[in-house]
Structure 1
Amino acid sequence: MQKIITAEQLCKEYNNGSNTVKVLKNIDLEIYEGDFTVIMGSSGSGKSTLLYCLSAMDSISSGEVKYQDQRMNNMNEVAISKIRRTEMGFVFQQMNLISTLSLFENIIISGYLKKESKKTVHSNAMSLLSQVGLDTFAKRLPSEISGGQQQRVAIARALINSPKILFADEPTGALNSKSGKNILDTLSHYNNNDNQTILMVTHDLKASLRANRIIYLNDGEIEGELALDKYAAENIDMVEREKNVLNWLQGMGW
């Protein structure tokens, strides 16, 4: 399998007055193309910090992060910004849609960052809205749709530039169970049908079942890793899958 991101001895520290807080400690990790990888752990274990460091949204204190064998900690901010803008997609718990723009406009504004033609960007935006079931709502404002629908727009926005990897930080955390399932179905669809690489942080057991790989963090260190079959709702015994994942998580101290 092709590696897309590699962390070697990654450490992250924060200075808190006279104290140094070690958030991540000597992380060695490889993320592979086409995988749906989930990072789990207790509150404060460093899950989101790890996601931000791997995507170069946050700096590291020591060690190394490589994106397709490029050493990101040696790049200047212009080069890093270009990679994030054109080759990475981001979905957060808070959708961060621009309230004064329509759903369509929220998506195309990100599409223009890759300097595609207007015609291509508009066509891709409508295609994505259709894929997430919201093409008839293209002219609506974010305030005129539900939170789950807003998150689907956020996913479409993240995919407009055909990113090589999609980073998701608690994308279902602010949603009810039905809306959360819709978001997970959307992510699973892109992973299964488009081989979209996904790296997601979650505290939700149901969300973790969509992964084919789960990384467990404890106190800033990787405690364990679980490999699963690729998720396919029609071919998987979800009761057994949930039981196996829960038993493993409890063994990790979750």
Structure 2
Amino acid sequence: MKNIVSVEKIEKYYGNKGNITKAIDNISFKVDEGEFLGIMGPSGSGKTTLLNCISTIDNVTTGKIIINNKDITALKAKAIEEFRRDELGFIFQDFNLLDTLTAYENIALALTIQNREIPEIDEMIKNVARKLDITELLSKFPFQLSGGQQQRVACARALVTEPSLILADEPTGALDSKSSRLLLESLEKLNKEFHSTILMVTHDSFTASYAHRILFIKDGRIFNELIRGNDTRKEFFNKIIEVVTLLGGDVGNVL
């Protein structure tokens, strides 16, 4: 199976000589094509910093991150912009849809930046809309959509460019329980039916239970790893809760 992400002994420091904080401490792991990986950890554990480094928003202090055979830690600014545009898809907690554009236009924006032709853009949008069952939403503006519908449009925007890796940052954080479940089922569908490779950061055990594998981060290091295997999602959820308890997290916040 093709390797999509290879994180190799990365460290990340903040501050100066008098006050240095090590946010990431010698982390290494790989993500294979078509895998759905979750990353969990308490507040301040380094999971967001890790996501920022993988997403090219931040730089590592030492180590390498290789995505789709490209060492992103060695890329210059312009090359990073092109890489982010062509290889990564983003799903944010607060949707990040533009209020003055329809759902169709929000999805089209990513393709327009890639200088795609209009007929190709139209075909790609209609195709991804069918996959996510949002065809009837394309002509609507964000204010006309529920939170769950907006997040599915955001999923379509992330998927439409056919990125090597989809990065989801607390994707259910702003949703109610019903909308969260619909979104997670959409992510599961993208992963199972279209072999999308997904890396998701979350503090929520229910959300994490949709992943194939989970890395638990504590104090900037990998604390534990869980692989779902043949477990049902409920069985996997219960195992996640056990590890979260060991991590010292607030279980009441993740149920």
Q: With structure 1 as the length reference, what TM-score do the two structures score?
A: 0.92
Equivalent residue runs for 1:100-249 within 5 Å: 100-229=100-229, 237-249=232-244
Q: Is the 8 A contact 2:42 2:247 kept in 1?
A: no
CA distance in 1, matches of 2:234, 2:101: 42
**Unmatched 5+ residue regions in structure 2?**
250-255
Structure 1 residues 16 and 214: alpha-carbon distance in aligned structure 2, compared to 1, 3 A threshold? same
CA distance in 2, matches of 1:237, 1:140: 37
**SS of match in other structure, 2:154:** helix
1:132 Cα offset (Å): 2.3
Q: Paired residue for 2:253?
A: none
AA of the residue aligned to 1:182 = L
CA distance in 2, matches of 1:139, 1:131: 17
CA distance in 2, matches of 1:16, 1:100: 42
Q: Is the 8 A contact 1:8 1:28 kept in 2?
A: yes
CA distance in 1, matches of 2:142, 2:76: 35
Q: Is the 8 A contact 2:209 2:234 kept in 1?
A: no
Q: Is the 8 A contact 2:172 2:180 kept in 1?
A: yes
AA of the residue aligned to 2:192 = N
Equivalent residue runs for 1:4-153 within 5 Å: 4-15=4-15, 18-153=18-153
Moved more, 219-228 or 183-192: 219-228
C-alpha distance after superposition, 1:94-118 (max 9, x if no partner): 1111110111000001112333221
Moved more, 152-161 or 115-124: 115-124
Structure 1 residues 16 and 149: alpha-carbon distance in aligned structure 2, compared to 1, 3 A threshold? farther
**Unmatched 5+ residue regions in structure 1?**
231-235
Mapped pair 1:251 → 2:214: no
Q: Is the 8 A contact 1:13 1:23 kept in 2?
A: yes
1:46 Cα offset (Å): 1.0
C-alpha distance after superposition, 1:205-251 (max 9, x if no partner): 11111111100000111111111127xxxxx6333232223223333
Count of residues in correspondence between the two structures: 249
AA of the residue aligned to 1:241 = F
Q: Is the 8 A contact 1:224 1:252 kept in 2?
A: no
Q: Is the 8 A contact 2:36 2:213 kept in 1?
A: yes
**SS of match in other structure, 1:99:** coil
CA distance in 1, matches of 2:48, 2:170: 9
CA distance in 1, matches of 2:106, 2:234: 38
1:70 Cα offset (Å): 2.3
AA of the residue aligned to 1:239 = K
CA distance in 1, matches of 2:16, 2:75: 27
C-alpha distance after superposition, 1:150-183 (max 9, x if no partner): 1111110011101111000000001000000011
**SS of match in other structure, 1:37:** strand
**SS of match in other structure, 2:175:** coil
Identity %: 37
1:137 Cα offset (Å): 2.1
**SS of match in other structure, 2:185:** helix
AA of the residue aligned to 1:111 = L
AA of the residue aligned to 1:175 = L
Q: Is the 8 A contact 1:14 1:22 kept in 2?
A: yes
Q: Paired residue for 1:233?
A: none
C-alpha distance after superposition, 1:56-99 (max 9, x if no partner): 12111111111233221211111111111111100110111111
AA of the residue aligned to 2:71 = R
